[in-house]
A and B are shown apart, each in its own frame.
Chain A
Amino acid sequence: MALFPFELVSPDKVLFSGAAQAVLVPGHEGDFQVLSDHAPTMSAIRPGVVGIDDANGKHFRVFVRGGFADVHPLGLTILAETAIPFEELNAAHLEQEIKNAEEDVADAAEDQKQAAQEKLDRMRELRDSMKL
C-alpha cells in the first residue's frame, strides 16, 4: 500500500512522525480515513480515537481531544490539544476528561451548550465502548 508522511503532535510532544499506510481520523462531521493522495482537507476533530496503520502494518490507537487534522498535499498532520496513546489511557484519565466536559457543559453559554453536550455524550460513549 502507498505510504504517506503522517505526524501526530500535541503541545508537549510529537506522538507519531513517520510514514503511514492509513489513518482513521475522528472528524467533526464524521470519521474519515486518510490514505495516500487524499484531497487537501482541513477538519476540526471531535474527541475520539485516531487509528494509525504504520509502514509495517502495525496498528496504533491514540485518544485525541480538541484540535485539527490537516490533510495537505504532502501528507497528514494532526494537531491535538490532548493526545494519549491507547495503552496509557485508563479509566482515571477518561473520568477526568468526562468531568472536564461536564464542567464545560455547565459553564457554556446557551448557544454553545449543545456543542458541549455533544462532546460530553461522545466521551461517555467512548467510555462505554472501552467497557471501563
Chain B
Amino acid sequence: MPSLKELRNRIASVRSTQKITKAMQMVAVSKLRRAQAAVEAARPYAQRVEAVLTNLAGSAKPGEGPRLLTGSGANQTHLLIVCTGERGLCGAFNTAIVRLARDRATALAAEGKTVKIICVGKKGYDQLRRTHERQILELVDLRAVRTITYDTARPIADKVIALFDAGEFDVCTLFFSRFRSVIAQIPTAQQLIPPELAETKENEKATSYDYEPDENEILAQLLPQALTVRVYRALLENAASFFGSQMSAMDNATRNAGEMVKKYTLRYNRTRQAMITKELIEIISGAEAL
C-alpha cells in the first residue's frame, strides 16, 4: 500500500501532465483552424490547375508530349516522397503514413524494382531509417517553417523534377495524409509522375483553344507548376491532419489523466480514512484498557 505522501505526489504529477496535454490540445485546435483555412484557400487554385492540365493532356496525342506528362517509358525505379510531421505526440498520424509507404516500398522491392525515398518531415525519416536507411536520398526538414506557403513546396518540386530530368527515377509517388475531418485522416498515395489525371469528358474536349505560346510550351510550363501545386496541397493537408490527429490524441490524454486523478484521489481518501479509523480504535482501546 503506497503511503499518503506517495499518493499525493502521484496525483500532483498526473495533474501537471494533464495541464500540459490540455494546453497542447487547445494549441492544436487553434492551429487546426488555421491549417484548415489554408487547405480551403488552396483548393480553388489546385482545382483550376488540375482542370487546365486535364484539358491540355486530353488534347495531346497519347504517347506524345513532355516526359513529365508521359513518364520516362520505364517502370523500374520508383521514387517515394514521404511527407510526415516534424513532431510526435499526435497519435498514429506519422506511423500510418510511414506504414503505407513502407508497405509500398516492400512490395516494389519484392517485384525487383529499385526504390528511392525522399523524406519530408523528421518523424517519417526517423521511422523509415530503421528499415530503409540506404534507400533514403534525403531529408527535407520543415521544422523551421512556421506557415506552409507555396514557396515551401517549390524547392521540393524542383528537386523532384531535377532528379527526374537526370533520369534518377521513372515513377514518383507522394505519400501524405488526406484531411477528411478532425477525427478522420486518411494516409494517401498519389502518383505525381506520370500524373494521375481524371478522364476528360467528351464535351469538354470540344473547345478549341488558341495557345500563346504553343501548346507544348504551355504544357511544359504547366506541368512543373501542377506538380508544385500537388506537393503544396499535400503539405497543407498533412499539416491539417497533423493538428487534427494531435488534437484528438491530446484530448484522449487529458481525459485519461482526469480519470487517473479521480482514481488516485479515491484511493488517497480511502487510505486517509482507514488511517484515521485505525488511530481512533487505538486511542479508544487504549483508554478502555486503563
Give me the interface of A with B, judged by CB distance under 8 Å.
7, 9-14, 27-29, 39-44, 66-68, 70, 72-73, 77, 79, 81-82
Closest B residue, CB atoms, query A43: B212
Closest A residue, CB atoms, query B229: A11
Closest A residue, CB atoms, query B221: A44
Q: How far is the CB of A103 from chain B (nearest CB, A)?
A: 13
B208 contact set on A, CB distance < 8 A: 40
With A and B bound together, what is the CA distance between A61 and B208 in angstroms? Answer: 30
Contact status B229-A68, CB under 8 Å: no
With A and B bound together, what is the CA distance between A114 and B221 in angstroms? Answer: 16
Cβ of B38 under 8 Å from chain A: yes
With A12-B149, A12-B150, A42-B218: A79-B45 Cβ-Cβ less than 8 Å: yes
Give me the interface of B with A, judged by CB distance under 8 Å.
38, 41-42, 44-46, 48-49, 52, 56, 149-150, 207-213, 217-218, 221-222, 225, 229, 232
With A42-B52, A42-B218: A14-B209 Cβ-Cβ less than 8 Å: no
B218 contact set on A, CB distance < 8 A: 42-44, 68
Q: How far is the CB of B32 from chain A (nearest CB, A)?
A: 18
With A and B bound together, what is the CA distance between A56 and B116 in angstroms? Answer: 55
With A and B bound together, what is the CA distance between A67 and B229 in angstroms? Answer: 12
Contact status B225-A41, CB under 8 Å: no
B41 contact set on A, CB distance < 8 A: 12-14
Contact status A43-B211, CB under 8 Å: yes
Q: How far is the CB of B146 from chain A (nearest CB, A)?
A: 14
A44 contact set on B, CB distance < 8 A: 212-213, 217-218, 221
Contact status A28-B150, CB under 8 Å: no
A70 contact set on B, CB distance < 8 A: 48, 52
With A and B bound together, what is the CA distance between A76 and B219 in angstroms? Answer: 19
With A and B bound together, what is the CA distance between A77 and B46 in angstroms? Answer: 13
Q: Contacting A28 at CB < 8 Å: which of B210, B212, B232?
A: B212
Contact status A68-B222, CB under 8 Å: yes
Contact status B52-A41, CB under 8 Å: no
Contact status B213-A39, CB under 8 Å: no
Q: How far is the CB of A67 from chain B (nearest CB, A)?
A: 7
Question: B-side binding surface: helix, strand, loop or mixed?
Answer: helix
- Pairs A–B under 8 Å by Cβ, sample size 10: A7-B48, A11-B42, A12-B42, A12-B150, A14-B45, A28-B213, A39-B210, A42-B212, A44-B217, A68-B218
Contact status A7-B44, CB under 8 Å: yes
With A68-B52, A70-B52: A9-B212 Cβ-Cβ less than 8 Å: no
Contact status B48-A77, CB under 8 Å: yes
Contact status A29-B212, CB under 8 Å: yes
Closest A residue, CB atoms, query B147: A12
Q: Contacting B212 at CB < 8 Å: which of A12, A27, A82?
A: A27
With A and B bound together, what is the CA distance between A44 and B215 in angstroms? Answer: 10
Contact status B38-A81, CB under 8 Å: no
Contact status B38-A41, CB under 8 Å: no
With A13-B41, A81-B225: A41-B212 Cβ-Cβ less than 8 Å: yes
The winner among A9, A14, A70, A77 for most chain B CB atoms within 10 A is A9
Closest B residue, CB atoms, query A77: B48
With A and B bound together, what is the CA distance between A12 and B215 in angstroms? Answer: 27
B45 contact set on A, CB distance < 8 A: 9-12, 14, 79
B222 contact set on A, CB distance < 8 A: 68
Q: How far is the CB of B216 from chain A (nearest CB, A)?
A: 12
With A and B bound together, what is the CA distance between A65 and B129 in angstroms? Answer: 39
A77 contact set on B, CB distance < 8 A: 48
Contact status A41-B229, CB under 8 Å: no
B150 contact set on A, CB distance < 8 A: 10-12, 81-82
Q: How far is the CB of A44 from chain B (nearest CB, A)?
A: 6
Closest A residue, CB atoms, query B233: A11
The winner among A12, A39, A40, A67 for most chain B CB atoms within 10 A is A12
Q: Contacting A67 at CB < 8 Å: which of B46, B56, B225?
A: B225
